[in-house]
Amino acid sequence: MPEEITVKERMSEWASKYSEVQQWLTHAKLQRPTQNIQGLFRFCEWAGKTPTELLALKKTNPTENLAEKLLDSFCGTKIEGFPESQKFVASVAVKSFFKHNYASLEKASGNMSLEKSKPYNALTKEGLRKLYNHALNPRDRALIPFVTCTGIAKETLANLLWGHLEQDWETKDLPCINLGPELLKGHGHGKYKGVRQITFLTPEAKAALKVYKEWLEKKLGRAVMPSDHIWLDTYQEIRDGEKTGIYNPLTYHMFGHAILRLSKESGVPFSLHDGRRWVNTALEGIAISPNWAKKIRGRKVRGEESPYSQPLIEQLRAKYREAVPLLEFTSETSRTVEERLKAVEAYTKSLTPEQLELRRMAGVMRKRPEEDDEKPEDCADGSHCQQIVNEENLAGFLSQSWKVVATLPSGKIVIEH
């Protein structure tokens, strides 16, 4: 941490010397200012020029494209100790610097294509469960299912408040999180104007978040407020060697450190971006509309300005419910549910239209409540109780709107209407 703070201070001190850099920082609204400043600094260092001298190349001789050629040379040169990924970030920062000082470079300059050197992590439910079980505190045990069901990005996580959760979220089956553009990529500027993210918590993510909330309230000595950040450090801030009673919000970089530590300790390769891919894979698995998937992941939807393209939250929640068995992973039951649903789907596709119609009719001709020999006291009409069935009978019940609750050691399945 001291080294990170030193880099920030050094970059801030360098940037403060140049009015052109301050102009850039004021108007560009960068997501990661320190990273961009460092990229511009490294380019200036390589070119042997100050930010003021860089702009002079473009403004003094605009037709000679000296600035563009300098950036092209930088991007095309192998620089020891300067990975291509960092060079890519630096080239983007340089073009942004010129743009916000009203001296835009030609679009063709500084173009780089990065080839992914490592494949994406192949996440499995078993792996995620191992990662989850290595979490040493309720915060981390809540964070893993949270990011793998909401698809919320790291920058947004750092600014997420309890007030962003749906009112009475603890009583909802799939609580909604409705985030405005100011919290998302681009912060609502330019092409990101009007973007919203409407996502949900799975039952297991909600349960873990409730445990974390209770644990956090004990540490704080008070109830959490809507204006409180959700994700806080687990240690109190210390000033002059004394604890202050303050638990600071996790920063962008602290989220990365927490996940990296969990990944190393569990031996499961994982990043917060992997969590977003897990959500996207589940949405693809239920054949959701591409626009609805973008809405859940907080991406720009074409025609967003049209009210007809905005799905009602309840419609979105109903479709998201289909993805829950694919998203949940903290118990063996969640794995079994996924397998059952896939088996039922395959079986249903194999039926002829006549067979499907017979099953539909059989679902209508159910026993009347008054014909039941016994009804639990908390069952109003005898049709919403749990039942225990064999696997061979599962498809018929699921086609009649029953759902799997658990799988017993005997292999029989508990279902609920």
349 and 393 together in one domain: yes
Q: Quick check: 78 pLDDT over 90?
A: no
Q: Give the long-range contacts of residues 50-58, CB within 8 A, separation 24 or more.
A: 50/18, 51/18, 51/20, 51/21, 51/97, 52/18, 52/20, 54/94, 54/97, 54/98, 55/20, 55/98, 55/101, 55/103, 58/98, 58/103, 58/105
Is 38 inside any structural domain? yes
Can you read off the two tokens belonging to residue 363? 């679902």
Coil, strand, or helix at residue 387?
strand
Domain-terminating residue out of 296, 327, 358 = 327
Q: Do 209 and 255 fall within a single domain?
A: yes
Same domain as 184, residue 81: no
Q: Which of the four pLDDT bands, split at 50, 70 and 90, describes residue 334?
A: low
What mean pLDDT do residues 292-321 have? 71
Q: Does some domain include residue 113?
A: no
17-50 pLDDT, tens per residue?
Answer: 999 999 998 887 776 788 889 999 999 999 999 9
CA distance 6 to 9: 5
Within a domain: 355: yes
Q: Do 350 and 287 share a structural domain?
A: no
Within-domain flag for 106: no
242 and 263, same domain (yes or no): yes
Domain that holds residue 375: 332-416
Q: Which of 249-253, 373-377, 392-396 has the largest mean confidence?
A: 249-253
Residue 200 and residue 320 in contact, taking contact as beta carbons nearer than 8 Å: yes
Give the type of residue at 16: S
* Residue 336 near residue 407, CB atoms below 8 Å: yes
CATH code of the domain containing 240: 1.10.443.10
Rounded Cα distance, 64 and 159, in Å: 45
Q: Find the angle CA(324)-CA(330)-CA(332) to the nearest 5 degrees.
A: 90
pLDDT surpassing 80 at residue 344 = no
pTM for this predicted structure: 0.61
Domain boundary among 52, 84, 99: 99
Confidence check: pLDDT of 373 > 50: no
Quick one: 162 and 245 in the same domain? yes
Q: Give the count of domains, the chain.
A: 3
User: Is residue 104 in a domain?
Assistant: no
Question: What is residue 268's predicted lDDT score, i.e. its pLDDT?
Answer: 93
User: Are the CB atoms for 340 and 404 separated by under 8 Å?
Assistant: yes
The first and second tokens of residue 35, run together, are: 């990273």
Residues 6+ positions from 395 with CB-CB distance below 8 Å: 343, 344, 347, 348
387, part of any domain: yes
Q: At 386, phi and psi to the nearest 5?
A: -85, 150
Q: Given the DSSP bridges, would you call strands 176-179 and 238-239 parallel, antiparallel or unpaired?
A: unpaired
Which run of H or E residues covers position 230? Answer: none
Is residue 311 located within the same domain as residue 165?
yes
Domain co-membership, 181 together with 231? yes
Give ∠ CA 65-67-70 in degrees, rounded to 5.
Answer: 110
Per-residue model confidence as pLDDT tens digits over 230-251: 999 998 888 888 888 889 999 8
**One domain for residues 320 and 363:** no
pLDDT tens per residue, range 310-331: 457 888 898 999 999 999 998 7
Average pLDDT over residues 338-354: 61
Is residue 155 assigned to a domain?
yes
Q: Please tell me whether residues 276 and 318 are part of one structural domain.
A: yes
Tell me, yes or no, whether 342 and 318 share the same domain: no
d(CA 129, CA 122): 14
pLDDT for res 402: 73
Same domain, 94 and 160: no
Alpha-carbon distance of 189 to 191, in angstroms, equals: 6
Among 99, 116, 150, identify where a domain stops.
99
Structural domain includes residue 18: yes
